[in-house]
Each structure stands twice: as structure tokens, then as C-alpha cells.
Amino acid sequence: MSHTRQDSDSLYHDIYSHPEMVADLLTNFLDPVMVEQLDLAQMRRLNTKFTATRGKRRRSDVVWEIPLRAGGHLYLLLILEFQSTVEVWMALRICVYTGLLYQQLIAERKLTPERGLPPVLPIVLFNGKPRWYAATRLRDLIRLPGTSPLWPFQPDMRYYVMDEGAFPRDLLRSLPSLSAILFRLEHPTDARSVVETGQDLVEWFKSHPDTLPLKRLFRELLIGAMERVKGSEPLMSAPEELGEVSNMLADHIEQWGRDAKQEGRKEEGSSILLRLLRYRFPTLPNWVEQKVLGADLDVLAQWTDRILDARSLQDIFGDEAHLAH
């Protein structure tokens, strides 16, 4: 899979198509009072036929049917949002999806007028950088005076938001949750935090050896985090083992740190040399700055040592001064 990486929405869809991941998410990030009502061990995935506004099926949304301990079933609408911006019409979209779900259940003869409509729990899992600010209730989008007699006839719908980037990192580190590790991986504070999360990810799978399909998916996520931190083109090859990917990431971070430090020293040396040159030779030709900025540390040191005794640029740069003309 090293040459054909999955994109984030496809990965999330596959990750939260595993019942243990859904149970992990709800147990650690949903109101405990609600979780107590759910028989998470008996949940099952529902094959839905929802489509987006342009007629394309949304692969990133997942629906689960979860038995209620008091009887009946709850339908969990898990909306996986990967947009860089907040979807301000989400409450409306949730309302439409709920209607489509009910229509599907009726068409499949799973509902009767006597049994009525089952409850729905819509959850939006958002991994974007801005914090979620959209209205979580449909009525907040409807423009009517508060005293209007039309309110009783207006639709209403709420949804629950899990904004990955809004959770404190200390809280995420304290939770024995694979979803918490996923949130940390998607929202690192710096390169070192990616290494730390990768190590915690490896340890989690060591203590959960029977989760090989999830382990493969999280390998892809870790590689994606590595590419984002480095700001590079996608890696053409990476180890198959998650632990080796984590070690590779740590090695790369250490090398990037050394490179950054070296680059910082070079920039400082170039700046000092240019200041000395401008003081010694007030009118510098353009080629001098280009040559100084392109030199390595050792050459910069040699040129700097020559400044005090130099009477001309040739005394500093040697024959290269003639060649520059």
C-alpha cells in the first residue's frame, strides 16, 4: 500500500466501520448517561443509500444500528467531516439524512405504524483546523420572530459534535482510547508530538494484538502524519510494520532537527558576513550577496576571517571576484 495511500475520509470510513472503534469513540467522548443506554456489544453496521447534494454517495458517513438496553434500537448517524471549513448547514443536512434513513427503513419494511420511528443519534466527527462553530440545532437556522405562531410547524433537529482539535491534549493522553490517539495524530502540536503519538500507537497495538485490520489502517494514518510534518511529497516507500514506521518517523524528525539547526547557523553566518562587508565596502555589487547566501558554513568562516586585512573584494573572494564580473 506504500504507493497507493488512502485519503483521510476513506481511512476514517474504514476505521469507523469497525464496531470496536465506534464503541471506543462513544465510550470515551459521548455523554456517559447516553452511553449507559446502549448495548454497544450488539451493534451492527447498516448499509445506507444516502447521497450528497450532487448525487454522489458520501463514502465518509457511517450508520450503525445499536440496541437500547430498555428495548428497541437507536440509529447512530456518524458524519465524518474532513472539510477545511465548517459546514454551517450541517443541522439541515442531518435533518435530510434522518428523513432518508427513515424512508429507507420503511421501504425495507423494517418499520410499522404501530412501532413508530426509532430514535436517531447524529454525531459529527470533525477533524478540521478551525473550531466548530455552526449551529447544532436546525431551529437556530430558521429566521422567525420568537413570538411567531409559525414556530410549532417548523422542523427541528440537533446533532452532537466531536471536534477533534478542541480536546485538550493532556486529556487525550490520559484516555486509554485508540480514538484519542487518532485525534492526537491528526492534530499534532509539533513534530515531536507526532513521534510521541506514534510510540503510544505502537504500545496500544502491542496490548491489543487481535486488531490487525485496524493496525494496518493506523499505519497509513501515521505515514500521512509523517508526510504532513515533513511537508514533503508522499513517501514512495515505508516499512510494513507499524513499529518500524514509528522508528523511521523518529529518525527523520531527529535529522530534520539537525538540518534546521545547521540551516539556522548558516543564515546567521551569512547575515554577519554581509553586515561586515557592507561596513567595509559600502557599495557592494549584486553578485556578492548571492555568493554569500549560497555558501556553506566552512566557506563563510574563511571569508569572514579575511575581512579585517582585505583591501578589495578580491582579497576576500579570490579569483571568484574576477569571475563574477
DSSP 73-122: EEEEEEEEE--SS--TTHHHHHHHHHHHHHHHHHHTT---TTT-PPPEEE
> CB-side exposure of 183: number of CA atoms within 13 Å?
26
- 8 A C-beta contact, residue 60 and residue 14: no
In-domain check, residue 80: yes
Q: What is the pLDDT of residue 241?
A: 67
pLDDT band at 3, cuts 50/70/90? very low
Q: Which domain covers residue 65, as residue numbers?
A: 1-139+150-166
In-domain check, residue 120: yes
Q: Which residues touch 209 (CB under 8 Å, ≥6 apart)?
A: none
Q: What is the pLDDT of residue 129?
A: 87
Burial of residue 141 (number of CB atoms within 10 Å: 0-12, 13-18, 19+): middle
In terms of domains, do 12 and 159 share one?
Answer: yes
**Averaged pLDDT score across all residues of the chain:** 84
Q: Would you say the C-alpha torsion 110, 113, 117, 118 has a positive or negative sign?
A: negative
Give dist(CA 94, CA 109) in Å, integer: 23
In-domain check, residue 156: yes
- 8 A C-beta contact, residue 288 and residue 300: no
Q: What is the pLDDT of residue 161?
A: 97
Q: What is the pLDDT of residue 313?
A: 86
Residue, of 145 and 3, whose pLDDT is higher? 145
In terms of domains, do 162 and 277 share one?
Answer: no
Convert the pLDDT of each residue in 24-40 to its tens digit: 999 999 999 999 999 99
Q: Residues 96, 16, 70, CA angle at the centre, nearest 5°?
A: 70
In terms of domains, do 154 and 273 share one?
Answer: no
In-domain check, residue 198: no
Residue, of 279 and 95, whose pLDDT is higher? 95
In terms of domains, do 269 and 162 share one?
Answer: no
The stretch 125-142 carries a mean pLDDT of: 94
All cell numbers assigned to 286:
549584486
Most confident of 65-74, 190-199, 241-250: 65-74
Alpha helices in the chain (DSSP H): 8-15, 19-29, 32-35, 90-107, 169-174, 178-186, 191-206, 212-230, 242-280, 286-293, 297-306, 313-317, 319-324
Task: Please list the residues that pair with 256 across neighbouring strands.
Answer: none
* 1 has pLDDT over 50: no
In-domain check, residue 219: no
Residue, of 67 and 222, whose pLDDT is higher? 67
In-domain check, residue 196: no
* 216 has pLDDT over 60: yes
Q: What is the pLDDT of residue 50?
A: 65
pLDDT band at 266, cuts 50/70/90? confident
Q: How many domains does the chain have?
A: 2
| Segment among 201-205, 208-212, 246-250 with least mean pLDDT | 246-250
Convert the pLDDT of each residue in 36-69 to its tens digit: 999 999 999 998 876 555 444 455 689 999 999 9
Convert the pLDDT of each residue in 223-264 to its tens digit: 887 777 666 555 545 555 666 656 655 565 555 555 556 667
Give dist(CA 244, CA 238) in Å, integer: 9
In terms of domains, do 154 and 274 share one?
Answer: no
Q: What is the pLDDT of residue 31?
A: 95
In-domain check, residue 122: yes
In terms of domains, do 3 and 131 share one?
Answer: yes
Give dist(CA 162, CA 268) in Å, integer: 45
Give dist(CA 102, CA 75) in Å, integer: 10
Q: Cβ atoms within 10 A of the Cβ of 213, count?
A: 12
| Segment among 3-12, 84-93, 101-110, 183-192 with least mean pLDDT | 3-12
In-domain check, residue 76: yes
